[in-house]
Structure 1
Amino acid sequence: MAETVDAREADRALKAKHRTMWALGDYPAVARQVVAGLGPVLVEACAVKGGDRVLDVAAGSGNAAIPAALAGGDVVASDLTPELLAAGRKEAEARGATLTWQEADAEALTFEDGAFDAVMSCVGVMFAPHHQAAADELVRVCRPGGTIGLLNWTPEGFIGQMFATMKPYAPPPPPGAQPPPLWGKEEHVRALLGDRVSDVEGRRRTIRVDLFQEPEEFRDFFKKAYGPTIAVYRNIADDPERTAALDAALVDLAQGAMRDGAMEWEYLLLTARKG
């Protein structure tokens, strides 16, 4: 029993840490200014139509949930971080979208079995630390015959490489936590979903990012707005040499990816049907 209690306490502490991290900076600005095109791509892939019951898991500020609602879906946007949900409510109101916002842990959703026609996540569930637990929940809350749609950064793509660049400067991950970019590997996601789904289709695509004219602009924006990057910099805040080294590494990464002031960031778009 003591081990079970300890494990629960450790999980609560880990989730609190994640909640705090995603509240840092201004992720809604990232969603709105940098990757706004991703949500509509996922909604289209899931073929959301009027009357569909839709759950967006780890929805953030509604990058996919709001387009799903505008497409006619009866949408619930769930996320661990209330600050992101609050930002999403304001964005939805400004865009004339009506949907439900609910705080929820992707690894322990509070919804009934088979409650949704479509269950999706846009660069969100990939950050849940325990991949199998999160995948099990995606499948559980989807109705038989319903659609599961996932859009995640690939390990080989720009954001996957950004995480690899930051890893030496970050604190060690907690025991059992898996790297987020694994969700960008089709074979990994297929293994997580297993034989509970059929008609699995994975496509590697890119989003064009032209907000940053210089690599330093990318680095400075992510240092200010993106929670995981902010957290890594905080980890080395008392080490000027390592901070300078990470500064240079992120500039080098962006420089290598830029072509005429734009970058192509690769993601995996995967859809499946629950059996």
Structure 2
Amino acid sequence: MTAPNDPDADRTLKARHRAMWALGDYPAVAAEVIPALGPVLVDACGVKPGAQVLDVAAGSGNAAIPAALAGADVIAGDLTPELFDAGRRTAAEQGAQLRWEQADAEALPYADGAFDVVMSCVGVMFAPHHQAAADELVRVCRPGGTIGLISWTPEGFIGRMFAVMKPYAAPPPPGASPPPLWGDPAHVARLLGDRVTDVEVRRATVRVDHFNTAEEFRDYFKANYGPTIAVYRNLADQPERAAELDEALAELARRDDLGWGAMDWEYLLVTARRAE
């Protein structure tokens, strides 16, 4: 699905997305719940000193900061610059130097072939128009360069969480595709097409042990995770439905509890080279 032709509608949609991700405290989620994912992606992409790296939908730098610590020349780009202050603090604490730039994943402000590595860690999957975002990932990667993606799978915990929230959420805008589709290998293959080679696909899990109870998980996401906050705001005048969602999210976490307050969240790791 390509981006809409109506510039005003697209600007309105992007403003909504920016506002949603500025809700709560996504940098806390990245740092406290899934800190391991960024280094996994950087390692999979083979980031080397001196490489020109773009982290698309970088958030607060979960992958961009490890790439910079590996010696790369990194730009962390995101539609929501409100996330950058937390990233800058973390980078300073760790001694990482990188640039932070506002950038729409569907219209990246960079030249064709500008980067050796183009990556995204559970980020670009949330751009509403998947084909437009995929086209941009390929465009700004140099021929022979690496594209690397980590995305939540539809079958994994976060994919199922979005399925649980869907009946309570506002209708998606026309033309928008569900984020967890990026965790479907066939979908990613269609998006990238024959413009990439040496494609490697692997399902893996990240251990999440930040929560002691299912209710603690639910309340943390209600307070910190933009998409969950937005769904509850949609139910502001429907307390009975909000209570239903409370129980549904807690039950989801109960089912995935490994028995000691830990969960394994599945993701899809994709690496590929842009065709020469």
Q: TM-score range by the shorter chain?
A: over 0.9
Listed one character per residue, the Cα deviations across residues 107-127 of structure 1 (whole Å, up to 9, x for unaligned) are 000000000000000000000
**How many Å separate the matches in 2 of 1:76 and 1:37?**
20
Q: Is the 8 A contact 2:201 2:269 kept in 1?
A: yes
Q: Is the 8 A contact 2:152 2:182 kept in 1?
A: yes
Q: Structure 2 unaligned runs (5+)?
A: none
Cα RMSD of the aligned pairs, angstroms, is 1.1
Equivalence for 1:51: 50
**How many Å separate the matches in 2 of 1:222 and 1:5?**
31
Matched position secondary structure for 1:56: strand
**How many Å separate the matches in 2 of 1:5 and 1:101?**
27
Matched position secondary structure for 1:273: strand
**How many Å separate the matches in 2 of 1:208 and 1:6?**
41
2:249 aligned with 1:250, yes or no? yes
**How many Å separate the matches in 2 of 1:123 and 1:85?**
16
**How many Å separate the matches in 1 of 2:235 and 2:6?**
28
Q: Which amino acid aligns with 1:13?
A: T
**How many Å separate the matches in 2 of 1:39 and 1:5?**
31
Q: Structure 1 unaligned runs (5+)?
A: none
Q: Is the 8 A contact 2:57 2:105 kept in 1?
A: yes
**How many Å separate the matches in 1 of 2:197 and 2:77?**
25
Percent sequence identity over aligned pairs: 72
Equivalence for 1:155: 154
* 1:91 shift after superposition: 1.3
When residues 201 and 240 of structure 1 are mapped into structure 2, their CA distance, relative to the original with a 3 A threshold, is same
**How many Å separate the matches in 2 of 1:5 and 1:42?**
30
Q: Which amino acid aligns with 1:270?
A: V
Q: How many residues align?
A: 272
* 1:6 shift after superposition: 7.5
- Normalising by structure 1, what TM-score? 0.98
**How many Å separate the matches in 1 of 2:213 and 2:52?**
42
**How many Å separate the matches in 2 of 1:120 and 1:126?**
11
When residues 6 and 135 of structure 1 are mapped into structure 2, their CA distance, relative to the original with a 3 A threshold, is closer
Q: Which amino acid aligns with 1:151?
A: I
Equivalence for 2:99: 100
2:104 aligned with 1:112, yes or no? no
Equivalence for 1:181: 180
Q: Is the 8 A contact 2:105 2:136 kept in 1?
A: yes
Alignment of 1:67-216 (within 5 A): 67-216=66-215
Q: Is the 8 A contact 2:4 2:10 kept in 1?
A: no
